[in-house]
Structures are given as C-alpha cells and as structure tokens.
Amino acid sequence: MKPNGSIISCPLACRAAPIDGSLRRTRATIRKRANLSPLLMTLWVAVMVAVLAVPAITIAADAPRRPNIVIILADDLGYADMGSFGSEIKTPNLDSLAKDGVRFTNFYTHASCSPTRSMLLSGVDTHLNGLGNMNEMIAPNQRGVPGYEGNLNNRVVTLPQLLKDAGYHTYMVGKWHLGKQPDQIPAARGFERDFSLLDGGGSYWNMMNITAAVPKSLFTEDGRYLTKLPEDYYATKTYTDKLIGYIDANRGDGKPFFAYVAHQAPHDPYHLPREWRKRHDGEYDKGWDAVRQERLKRQVEMGITPAGTELAERMWFVPDPIVLAPASRYILGKKMELYAGMVENMDHHIGRLIEHLKKIGEYENTIFIFFGDNGAEGTDLFGMIAGSPGSRDNLFAAINWSQTHPNAWGDPESWVGYGPMWAQVSMTPFSQFKGWLAEGGIRNGLIVSGPAVQRQKGSINHGLMHVADLMPTLLEVAGATYPKTHEGREVPALMGKSLGPVLAGKADSVRTDQDYLAWEVFGNRAVRQGEWKLRWQIKPFGKGDWELFNLAADPAERKDLAAQHPDKVKAMLAVWESYVKANNVILPNRTLFDTMEKDMPQRVTVYPGFPPLIYQQQFVPPKDMLADPKP
C-alpha cells in the first residue's frame, strides 16, 4: 500500500498483502515492554491490533477480484476451422471471443493430443513430463525411461494444483488422456471437480471404445470411476452441463474458478445429433481445392495470413476433386458436412457457457483461452486400429461400429473420419496435418479474451507463442508462483514464457530471434528459431533428412532451402542437439510409420493441371464450320 492509502498495482493480478510480519513485529514489541502493567499492556495490544486491522480490511475491500480462467480445448480442430480464422463454418460464439479479445496466428502446440495436454497442464517439455511419446506408441527403447511413462508423471506439478493452492476452485470436463491409475486421474492432479473421459477417444453417445482389448471407455466423476453414463449423455452437451453445475455449486463463496474444458469434438468418430447434420448440405461437393482457396482468400482479407501466401502443395496421394465422379464428390463432401456440424455444435455449447457466465455476472471477470490441441486429423485412425480382416480388432470393429451407410453417419455405432483431403482444408494454408511436424501438424489458432487482455479488441498478433507459455501466464494472472519444489520433490523448470507483456499491449512477442522452440514425436523432429524452421521427417512425408524453411516467406513449407543455407542448417542443428541433451530426447527404434514409404504411392511433386490428359476438355468447333456429312 502506498502512503496515501491506494493499492499498489502488480502485473495482471493484485496480490493481497500478508500481515503476518506486522504481527510478529507487534509480539516482539510487546516482549520488550514486558515491564508495563497488565492493564496498560492489554490496552496497548488492543490498540495495535485495531490499527493493524485497518489496512488489511482496506486491502480486502479495495482489491480487485482475481479473474476466473476458462481454457477451452478442441480436439483435432484445424487452424482454419473458425470463422474468425477464415472458415465458412459458422462459429459465432468463438468469433465473439475473438472480437472481444485477440487472435494469435503464430501459436504452436504439439503434433498429437496427449503431448500437447501434458505441456498445457505442466508447462514442461514432453520428454520430461512423461509424454516423451504417446502411451499408445511408446517404442521398445523408450520403455521404463523417465519421461516416457505415457502418463503425466509425478515429477511435475500441474497448473490446477498450483491454482488450487492459490485459492481457486478447479474444474475439469472432457477428455483427459494423461493416465488412468488412481494417482494419475484429474482428481489426483489438482482438480476439485471433474467429469472426464480418460481415454483418447471413443463414442460421443456411450462408453463404446475402439479396440477389442479396450472395448469400454473409462470415465471419472469427482475422482470416482463411473459404471455408466447419464441417461441423456452426448459428450459435448454433457460436458457443458456438468461444468455449469460445478460453477453454480460454488457461486457466492468469493473464490475465483479455473475451468479446463477439454472437448472431445471434433475428434473422430463424427457423432452428431440429427438436427445438426444438414447445415452444410451439398456445400462441399465442390471439393477440397476450392474450399482451401476460398479460406485462404478470407484469411488474407482478415489479416490472418499475409498477402501473396501460397497454399501448401496438395498431398501427392490426394486426387484433384475435379477428376472424381459427382457421386464420389458427394459422399466425400458429406463427411466434411458432418465435421462442420460437429464444430458448430461445439460452438453452440460454448455459447451456452458464455451466456451462463453473463447471466450470473461472471463473464466480464473471466479470461477465455481457446485453441485446438494439434493439427487436424488426416490419418485413417479407424483403419489403423481395426487392422486387417481376420484380426481381433477388425472383427470387433465390424460388430460394434457397423453403421456404415451414409444415412446413418453420426449415429451411435457409426465411424466417420474425413481424411487427408479435408484435413488439409482445416489446416489452410499449411502443409500436412496431425502427427507430423510440418506446420499443419503443430500450428493452431489461439483466441484470448477477458480482463487480462489490454490490446485493441479484435486485434491480431503474429508473435511466436507456445502452449507451454500458458502456465506461467496464468500463474501470473492468479498471483501464484511456480515452485522449485513440490511435496518435497524438485520440479523441472518451466519451458514457456509469460504472455503478460503481450496481453498488456507492451510487446508483440515474448521471444527474440535467438529463442527457439523444438519438437520430437514418433521420431519426427523440428526446431523453430526466429523465422527459420529446421525439420526432419520420416519418408515419404519428409525426406528422411533435415529440411530448412523460411516461414516468413514460405509458411506453406514449399521450398527446402537446406542446400542454399548450409551454415544456417549447421547452426540450427547445434540448437537441436542442445535441446536433445537438456530434455533427454530418445529417438524411437520403432514407429508405426516404419513401412509407410513402401505402403504409400511414391511421392511426386503436384503441379496444377498435370497431366493435361485428364484435364483436357471436349473441343467444340466454331458453329459456322459445322456440317452434316455429304451424301
């Protein structure tokens, strides 16, 4: 407190001043004055306590409330799937958050779901926090190695644990995917209330899972494993209902809340109530190339993407839709219609949460953070898991996911994913998709709104950001600190940087051109430093060698500059090696992609209009030169 009685401001959040030190000093003074008479001592102590109580009461009365924090995470949502990032998909509620806040165009996650979630909740690199590889894909040489447990390990402290210690209510709804044992579930990692899907995916309607070995999805509610789901369960709706109930249960107690809303949508299978399935009827029959071009045009007009940006090359194994029969375009377009409906349904339920917070007077004091957990899903996940005919999982899939007719798509027991062609649309203008370290696997659209944002409303920021930045940012918002130890254990240092200066409008980025970000998963690896990116990917998605891209000039990663800039490659390789050493990176000796190069068509460069044979049109002679045959 200043001498004039006003509150001293502190970054992003105001912290209550402790009075413990003053009381200790008071007790010392009392001891020094022990020669006072009992009556005088009693009167003196009463006066001092009253004096000390006045500033404490003033602080409590005058200090601003700490903001609520809501992180909304979409599962496999693409960079370009929101209206505010160039999509034709209607997302008015997310767009309203963008209009009230700021959009970040250079925000990075990881290439797959659980690695991203582990960094979001721990602020620590995946190779240290337990998700050095996904639990489902841990390689033989990674088993038993610290950092590769396949779950969020106990060497890290989580964001909800620290916020809970700082006086926040902590709620979670949705997909967890960070461990199933009792000491690994949300209730054990800092969440006061939760309704959580522990698996990586499954039905939106019931507990049906994907494989014969794990036929039933596992859920927890408030730390107990559920034997069944609510009668009217639909994932996106139920998660929202539960969270609203948690918020209302503690209303009026004066404590702020942290809510982690980890939506399953729009991860496949694409399950959707029937009334949401026809909102884009026939819209995608035009094909993926046309929709990508339209999205890029809107992105440039909005300022999301610089003018002159090229689209990434269409994947070489994806056909040009113009050569497909109308029936094929219709069926493939119907998959995208279903996906778009799922995104709009998710936006609808996000809108329910926003409206409820407005109704109870909490909206203006709530920070919203929204993004997707990785690139859009372009892999045939169902085919990969079900395997070949005659296998255990293939039989399970045939029995339990048997609704294959297009009219049943979206119903229970149907499984639809939209494929690599539409995944590239979702990731416009970038290359590739989920699972890979091209920009299409790791770049996401981020929206932040609420009282921490002092930038111009509706503005766009192009600074380099990372999902691990959110933990230090939110601790600062809450007036909490990251500890050196937790429960007697040393914890790894945070890898991210607080976005406080950026949100306050005092900086455009928290990183210099010397700072770097690095990734490794499934043996693929990448480093970004400034505008440069060094990337190594398994063939045929990569070259099986290091490639160099200048993302400022070439965000679609069309031009490998490694041969032209060997010194830059050398310098960034040194950065990569330092990352490997600091984070105990162990490259896997087996991956699911080991035979991909042989199983897929040979990679070739895609040129529009090649080969001319399939693009040639019927020649129509001039009318004045037409004639019937002579007799």
- Tell me the two tokens of residue 449: 């709104």
141, 202: one domain: yes
105, 33: one domain: no
Residue 622, domain member (yes or no): no
Angle, to 10 degrees, between the axis of helix 326-359 and the axis of helix 419-426? 40
pLDDT for position 13:
46
- Tell me the two tokens of residue 349: 């339920």
240, 362: one domain: yes
**Residue at which a domain ends, from 459, 489, 512:** 512
H/E run at residue 296: helix 288-302
pLDDT for position 399:
95
Cα dihedral 130, 589, 533, 439 sign = negative
Q: What does the pLDDT look like over 52-76, one tens digit per residue? A: 444 433 333 445 789 999 999 999 9
For tokens 């119907």, the residue is 334
Q: Which residues pair with 73 in a beta bridge?
A: 262, 371
Cα dihedral 353, 357, 362, 368 sign = positive
Instruction: Count the Cβ atoms, other than its own, within 10 Å of residue 602.
Output: 9
CB 505 within 8 A of CB 455: yes
Distance from C-alpha of 563 to C-alpha of 567, rounded to nearest angstrom? 10
Distance from C-alpha of 63 to C-alpha of 52, rounded to nearest angstrom? 17
339, 488: one domain: yes
Catalytic residue among 110, 113, 280, 466: 113
**Residue at which a domain ends, from 62, 78, 96:** 62
Residue 27, domain member (yes or no): yes
- Number of domains, the chain: 3
**Residue at which a domain ends, from 512, 533, 550:** 512
Give 460: exposed, middle or buried? Use CB within 10 Å, 0-12, 13-18, 19+. middle
528, 555: one domain: yes
Count each helix (H run) and each strand (E run) in the chain, helices first. 18, 17
pTM, full prediction: 0.89
The CATH code of the domain that includes 444 is: 3.40.720.10
Q: What does the pLDDT look like over 296-321, one tens digit per residue? A: 999 999 999 999 999 999 999 999 99
21, 167: one domain: no
Q: Computed over its alpha carbons, how large is the radius of gyration of the chain?
A: 28
- Tell me the two tokens of residue 62: 């005058």
pLDDT for position 64:
73
Give the contacts of 298 (CB within 8 A, at least 6 positions apart): 86, 87
Residue 594, domain member (yes or no): yes
* Structural domain of 34: 17-62
Average pLDDT across each block of 10 residues of the chain; the chain has 631 residues. List them in order: 36 40 40 44 43 39 79 98 98 98 98 98 98 97 97 98 98 98 98 98 96 95 98 97 98 96 98 97 97 98 97 97 95 98 98 98 98 97 89 94 96 97 98 98 98 96 98 97 94 97 97 97 98 97 97 98 98 98 97 92 92 90 96 94
352, 458: one domain: yes
120, 136: one domain: yes
CB 264 within 8 A of CB 199: no
Give the contacts of 530 (CB within 8 A, at least 6 positions apart): 512, 513, 514
H/E run at residue 39: helix 38-62
Using CA atoms, how far residue 354 sits from 103, 360, 361, in Å, is: 18, 10, 11
Residue 321, domain member (yes or no): yes
Q: Are strands 169-175 and 257-262 parallel, antiparallel or unpaired?
A: parallel
Residue 5, domain member (yes or no): no
Helix (H, G, I), strand (E, B) or coil at 70: strand
- Tell me the two tokens of residue 363: 């909206």
Helix (H, G, I), strand (E, B) or coil at 461: strand
Catalytic residue among 110, 127, 169, 177: 177
pLDDT for position 63:
58
Q: What's the distance, CA 424 to chain centroid?
A: 18
Residue 604, domain member (yes or no): no
The CATH code of the domain that includes 528 is: 3.30.1120.10
24, 93: one domain: no
The DSSP secondary-structure symbol of 344 reads: H
CB 153 within 8 A of CB 179: no
Instruction: Count the Cβ atoms, other than its own, within 10 Å of residue 314.
Output: 19
Helix (H, G, I), strand (E, B) or coil at 220: strand
Q: Which of 568, 538, 539 is nearest to 551 (CA)?
A: 568
280, 353: one domain: yes
Mark whether 14 is an active-site residue. Answer: no
Residue 575, domain member (yes or no): yes
CB 372 within 8 A of CB 78: yes
Cα 166–Cα 168–Cα 171 angle in degrees, nearest 5: 135
413, 562: one domain: no
Residue 570, domain member (yes or no): yes
CB 222 within 8 A of CB 194: yes
Distance from C-alpha of 603 to C-alpha of 540, rounded to nearest angstrom? 6
Mark whether 177 is an active-site residue. Answer: yes
> What is the Cβ-side half-sphere exposure of residue 33, based on CA atoms within 13 angstroms?
16
267, 121: one domain: yes
Q: What is the dihedral of CA 507, 513, 515, 518, to 10 degrees?
A: 120
